[in-house]
Amino acid sequence: MTQSDLTDMFSEGGGLPETLPGDPMPLLRAWLDEATEAARTPNPNAMTLCTATPDGRPSARVLLCKAIEVDPGYLIFYTNSRSRKGEEMEANPRVAAVFHWDEPGRQARIEGRVVRSPDSESDAYFASRHWTSRLGAWASDQSAPIGSRAAMLEKVTQAVIKLDLDLGALLDGGEVNIPRPAHWFGYRIWVDRAELWSGGTGRIHDRAVWTRSLGEGDAPETGAWSATRLQP
Ligand SMILES: Cc1cc2nc3c(=O)[nH]c(=O)nc-3n(C[C@H](O)[C@H](O)[C@H](O)COP(=O)(O)O)c2cc1C
Distance, CA 42 to ligand 1 centroid (Å)? 15
Q: Is residue 226 part of a domain?
A: yes
d(CA 70, CA 63): 19
Q: Which amino acid residue places its CA nearest to atom 4 of ligand 1?
A: 63
Q: Is residue 137 part of a domain?
A: no
Is residue 61 in contact with ligand 1, taking CB distance under 6 Å? yes
Q: Which amino acid residue places its CA nearest to atom 18 of ligand 1?
A: 61
Is residue 84 in contact with ligand 1, taking CB distance under 6 Å? yes
Distance, CA 168 to ligand 1 centroid (Å)? 29
d(CA 131, CA 116): 23
Distance, CA 8 to ligand 1 centroid (Å)? 42
Q: Is residue 91 part of a domain?
A: yes
Tell me the catalytic residues.
Answer: 203
Q: What is the pLDDT of residue 164?
A: 94
Q: Is residue 10 part of a domain?
A: yes
Is residue 94 in contact with ligand 1, taking CB distance under 6 Å? no
Q: What is the pLDDT of residue 167?
A: 84
Q: Is residue 167 part of a domain?
A: no
Q: How many domains is the chain built from?
A: 1
| ω into 72 cis (within 30 of 0) | yes
Helix (H) / strand (E) containing 184: strand 184-198
Distance, CA 119 to ligand 1 centroid (Å)? 21
* CA of 62, closest atom in ligand 1: 17
Distance, CA 51 to ligand 1 centroid (Å)? 13
Helix (H) / strand (E) containing 74: strand 74-80
Q: Is residue 165 part of a domain?
A: no
Q: Which amino acid residue places its CA nearest to atom 13 of ligand 1?
A: 63
Q: Which amino acid residue places its CA nearest to atom 7 of ligand 1?
A: 63
| ω into 179 cis (within 30 of 0) | no
| Residue-by-residue pLDDT tens, the chain, 232 positions | 788 888 877 776 558 999 999 999 999 999 999 999 999 999 999 999 999 999 999 999 999 999 999 999 999 999 999 999 999 999 999 999 999 999 999 999 999 999 999 999 999 999 999 999 999 999 999 999 999 999 999 999 999 999 999 888 888 887 889 999 999 999 999 999 999 999 998 899 999 999 999 999 999 999 999 999 999 9
Q: What is the pLDDT of residue 9?
A: 77
Is residue 43 in contact with ligand 1, taking CB distance under 6 Å? yes
Q: Which amino acid residue places its CA nearest to atom 29 of ligand 1?
A: 62
Q: What is the pLDDT of residue 174?
A: 79
Tell me the whole-structure pTM to 2 decimals: 0.95
Residue 118 per-residue DSSP state: P
The domain containing residue 225 runs over which residues? 3-129+181-230
Task: Determine contact, residues 28/68, Cβ cutoff 8 Å.
Answer: yes
Q: Are strands 58-64 and 67-69 parallel, antiparallel or unpaired?
A: unpaired
Q: What is the pLDDT of residue 13?
A: 56
Q: Is residue 142 part of a domain?
A: no
Q: Is residue 25 part of a domain?
A: yes
CATH code for the domain of 46: 2.30.110.10
